[in-house]
Amino acid sequence: MTKTVQRVITALQEAFPDVDFAVAPLLAGRRPEEEQVCVRVPPTRLAGVMRFLYEDRRCRFEQLCDLTCVDYLNFPEATDRFGVTYALLSLTLGHRLWVKCFVNDPDPEVPSATGIWQGANWLEREVWDMFGVRFTGHPDLRRILTWEGFPAHPLRKDYPLRGRGERENYEVIHRDSA
């Protein structure tokens, strides 16, 4: 963990003393100067924490590199099902931080980050499309990869790889009809 990241963690713990951030390295076995840090935030506090990470002068995460989700269904030692993952980068201070927010069935819901990072718009639409995690406050939460009316969220672990017959339901064109 670099010094600037250490300062970010300290700032977080000072600003949100009631939250257990569960600070841990993202990957084990990295050298300390290369290590990236992951913090856990409950969905109820996510909006405030994200706003703080964006605005505080010790954090200054101007950029949301990625926003994705992991389905931990049947994952060993996992307690929650969906882990919405944010990859943050500070361009001025040159440090990174991973934020994970765990939500559960039914109706997994996370506050939208579009008010802070405009780029979160399509990423959140993708997570909604693929995992069915709803982002409250999103300006336009439509499906982005599958079409409107697709009945499932295909990257969930309990969705069959071959689908449930969605790909067989098109109109067939014969030589006579075209």
Partner 1 sequence: MKAAAPTYQGSREEFLTTRLDALVDMLRQYGVNWARKNSLWPLPFATACCGIELMGVGASRYDIARFGAEVMRFTPRQCDLLICAGRVAIKMMPVLQRIYMQMCEPKWVISMGACASSGGVFDTYAVIQGIDQFLPVDVYVPGCPPRPETLLEGVMAVQRIVEQEGIRTSRERGRGLRLTVQPAAELVQIGTEARS
Interface ranges with partner 1 (CB under 8 A): 146-147, 154, 159-164, 166-168, 170-176, 178
Beta carbon nearer to partner 1, 94 or 163: 163
Rg (CA), the chain: 19
Asked whether the beta carbons of 141 and 135 are under 8 A apart, the reply is: yes
Q: How far is the CB of 45 from partner 1 (least distance, A)?
A: 35
Beta carbon nearer to partner 1, 73 or 91: 73
Q: How far is the CB of 145 from partner 1 (least distance, A)?
A: 8
Residues 6 or more apart in contact with residue 70 via CB below 8 angstroms: 82, 83, 85
Beta carbon nearer to partner 1, 77 or 168: 168
What DSSP assignment string belongs to 143-156? -SSSPTT--S-TTS
Q: How far is the CB of 175 from partner 1 (least distance, A)?
A: 5
Cβ-in-10-Å burial (0-12, 13-18, 19+) of 41 comes to buried
Beta carbon nearer to partner 1, 28 or 172: 172
Q: How far is the CB of 168 from partner 1 (least distance, A)?
A: 7
